[in-house]
Amino acid sequence: MAIAIINDLLTNVDWSEISDASLDTLFMLGFSVFFSTIIGIPIGLVLFLTSRGRLLQNGPIYNVLSFIINVLRSIPFIILLIVMIPVTTMLLGTSLGAKGTIPPLVVGAFPFFARLVENALKEIDNGIFHMAESCGATTWQIIWHILLPEILPSVIASITVTAIALVSYTAMAGAVGGGGLGDLAIRYGYQRFQTDVMLITVVLMVVLVQVIQMFGDLLVRWLRKK
Amino acid sequence: MIKVKNLYKSYRNQGKTQQVLNDINFEVPAGQVFGIIGKSGAGKSTLIKCLNLLERPDSGEIIIDGIDLTKITSNELRVQRQQIGVIFQHFNLLNSKTIFDNVALPLILHGNHDKAQIKAAVQEMLQLVGLEDFANKYPASLSGGQKQRVGIARALITKPKLLLSDEATSALDPQTTASILDLLLEINRKLGITIALITHELEVVRKICDKVAVIDGGRIIELGNAVDVLLHPREALTRKLIVEEETDKYLENVQQFYQFEKNANRHLLLLSFVGETTYQPLLSIVAKEANVEFSILRGELGRIKDTPFGQLLVEFEGGEDGLSLAKSVMTRLGVHYETIY
């Protein structure tokens, strides 16, 4: 009975298409978060370590890297999607579909994530570095045994923030043939005036964001409690 | 164990050169506790960082256990640093690691991965500092004193020959300070480890130091055995820094008060005695032999590390002759005196 009423209200909704689109969104999100993280952490580390007064202080490297990050961060994502088309085609053979959106998503997100990592590292007390140096630790050991474990909770929190930003990026990627829930919302909800489809996709994205935030918060709380 | 020769260090700040350490020289024999005391900004922090070359001096020699740290390669320096434990004012523990892992860290950084060996070493250290039940806790759940104990366990786990203490008790309350100082003293005796510490607290020097250097404006202005420097400071600045604050204040009051009644028959002396003389009936001997009367206005008995000492503010009455006789008796008995008037 209840299901019948809902189906009457949502006449245009094709549930199998919704579930395909949801899977596409999760696919885009999963890979882009993964790559943004594994690219962003080393870059955040390099930014931190080469900055003034740090272990590998190096003005030129820091300035160039910092400039590139700032440039990437200042390009509007919609422009980045277009600019990245040739690069993506070169890398993956196509710039279309869920797969084709991953490179622009990563390029859009990792600079932001790298800055978050850099900031997390700046929060570490200077005394920790004195301690590590006094123990005769090498730079690699400091990174591996001290910096990475110490920033883990902050990194998880940063991944959460980045993942949520990426949820809306994936929706925007729908505009250039990216697929996923955003694509569905634009093609049916906007172009064909099927408000019910739009509504469902928005609800699903809200749920997705909530779940990511909740899971991230739980993980951070667990790590900080230790 | 430590030999510092002609150490100079300056910082460049906005084109200006600021001399932080100026011709520092001292030696610390193995097994001693050496205190460097000074006000903040005196250069003591820089000095202790120079001792394991966290700060590289402009010139001078820093010889630890026969090796001049300023003349070795950075790899050799890393090895030497493993022989030098350091404890810090703010403990510098890793919040992401358990107490066990914090204490084990230096071993792991030195490439030791033998789990059984690490476990045994960590347990031994935690037992030494009285935290054997805390291995699986995290630093966030510990009090300041407990954190410093973890810091000490971590500093000692590599069995260093030298322990550097960078204001290790300055962030602790007086009671906790006392217990940490007791622990350091116990470690010094049990393990025979040499300790060099910086502090601005007189209490630290008095309780555990054998030798002390007073530093001001980047120079050592007084250097010697803790007993001598604390009881008979030569420099006015040292005096201000280390003489019993209470006694000093008292003296000021007394001097004002007594100005009215000053006369040739009355003399105010500050007597200091150390070691066995502390327990002799000094004043009555002096009074009998010199035939003078005395009254004690203020007194203090205590210990500087293991040495008992006493400091008394005494007024003698009995004329010039009696007084000079009293002074010579005191000199014979080994009492140090300072004439206030």
In a domain, A194, yes or no: yes
Say yes or no for a CB contact (<8 Å) between B52 and A150. Answer: no
B 36-95: CB under 8 A from A: 49, 52, 54, 77-82, 84, 86, 88, 90-92, 94-95
Could you tell me if B106 lies within 8 Å of chain A, comparing CB atoms?
Answer: yes
Cross-strand partners of B314: B269, B296
Say yes or no for a CB contact (<8 Å) between B81 and A132. Answer: no
In a domain, A54, yes or no: yes
Q: How many domains does chain A have?
A: 1
User: Which residue of chain B comes nearest to A143, CA vs CA?
Assistant: B109
Per the listing, tokens 């049990």 go with B190
Cβ(B266)–Cβ(B276) below 8 Å: no
Burial status of residue B87 (CB atoms within 10 A of its CB: 0-12, 13-18, 19 or more)? buried
Say yes or no for a CB contact (<8 Å) between A149 and B94. Answer: yes
User: Which residue of chain A comes nearest to B139, CA vs CA?
Assistant: A226
Q: Select the residue of A134, A141, A152 nearest B54 (Cβ to Cβ).
A: A134
Please state the φ and ψ torsions of residue B213, each to the nearest 5 degrees.
Answer: -120, 130
Chain B residues touching A153 at Cβ < 8 A: 96
Cβ(B37)–Cβ(B215) below 8 Å: yes
**Tokens describing residue B28:** 């610390």
In a domain, A8, yes or no: no
Q: Select the residue of B49, B95, B110 nearest A136 (Cβ to Cβ).
A: B110
Q: Which ranges in chain B belong to alpha helices (H)?
A: 44-51, 74-81, 99-109, 115-128, 144-156, 174-191, 202-208, 226-231, 236-242, 245-258, 282-290, 319-333
The CA-atom distances, in angstroms, between A69 and each of A2, A115, A155 are: 52, 8, 18
In a domain, A6, yes or no: no
Cβ(A40)–Cβ(A166) below 8 Å: no
pLDDT at B255: 66
d(CA B270, CA B313): 5
The CA-atom distances, in angstroms, between B182 and each of A33, B16, B88, B186, B305 are: 53, 43, 17, 6, 10
pLDDT at A106: 95
Say yes or no for a CB contact (<8 Å) between B109 and A145. Answer: yes
In a domain, A136, yes or no: yes
CA atoms within 13 A on the CB side of A208: 24
How many CB atoms sit inside 10 A of residue A180's CB?
27
Say yes or no for a CB contact (<8 Å) between B110 and A149. Answer: no
pLDDT at A153: 94
d(CA B329, CA B286): 6
Sheet holding B307-317, edge to edge: B293-304, B307-317, B266-274, B336-339
Q: Which of A121, A134, A143, A144 to mutate to test the interface with B (most CBs of B within 10 A)?
A: A134
Q: Can you list the residues of chain B whose pLDDT is less than 50?
A: 260
Say yes or no for a CB contact (<8 Å) between A145 and B105. Answer: yes
Q: Select the residue of A130, A136, A150 nearest B96 (Cβ to Cβ).
A: A150
Helix (H) and strand (E) counts for chain B? 12, 14
Q: Report DSSP state, residue B90.
A: T
Distance between A137 CA and the closest CA of chain B, angstroms: 6
Q: Quick one: which H or E segment has residue B215?
A: strand B211-216
Cβ(A166)–Cβ(A29) below 8 Å: yes
pLDDT at B167: 92
What string of DSSP letters covers B48-68? Answer: HHHHTTSS--SEEEEEETTEE
pLDDT at A226: 66
Chain A residues touching B156 at Cβ < 8 A: none
Q: ipTM of this predicted complex?
A: 0.82
pLDDT at B123: 95
CA atoms within 13 A on the CB side of A105: 37
pLDDT at B256: 65
Say yes or no for a CB contact (<8 Å) between A136 and B78. Answer: yes
Chain A residues touching B110 at Cβ < 8 A: 135-136
Look up the CATH number of the domain holding residue A25.
1.10.3720.10
Cβ(B27)–Cβ(B63) below 8 Å: no
Say yes or no for a CB contact (<8 Å) between A136 and B138. Answer: no
What is the 3-class SS of chain A, one letter each residue? CHHHHHHHHCCCCCHHHHHHHHHHHHHHHHHHHHHHHHHHHHHHHHHHHHCCCCCCCCHHHHHHHHHHHHHHHHCCHHHHHHHCHHHHHHHHCCCCHHHHHHHHHHHHHHHHHHHHHHHHHHCCCHHHHHHHHHCCCCHHHHHHHHHHHHHHHHHHHHHHHHHHHHHHHHHHHHHHCCCHHHHHHHHHHHCCCCHHHHHHHHHHHHHHHHHHHHHHHHHHHHHHHC
User: Which residue of chain A comes nearest to B109, CA vs CA?
Assistant: A137
Domain extent at residue A194 = 13-225
In a domain, A3, yes or no: no
Q: Which of B105, B138, B156, B159 to mutate to test the interface with A (most CBs of A within 10 A)?
A: B105
Chain B residues touching A146 at Cβ < 8 A: 94, 105
Q: Can you list the residues of chain A whose pLDDT is less than 50?
A: none
pLDDT at B247: 63
How many CB atoms sit inside 10 A of residue A226's CB?
14
Distance between A162 CA and the closest CA of chain B, angstroms: 23
Sketch out chain B's domains with CATH numbers: 2-241 (3.40.50.300), 245-339 (3.30.70.260)
Chain B residues touching A136 at Cβ < 8 A: 77-82, 109-110
Say yes or no for a CB contact (<8 Å) between B77 and A136. Answer: yes
d(CA B310, CA B292): 21
Say yes or no for a CB contact (<8 Å) between B82 and A136. Answer: yes
In a domain, A78, yes or no: yes
Please state the φ and ψ torsions of residue B28, each to the nearest 5 degrees.
Answer: -125, 115
Chain B residues touching A130 at Cβ < 8 A: 49, 54, 86, 88, 92
d(CA B195, CA A133): 19
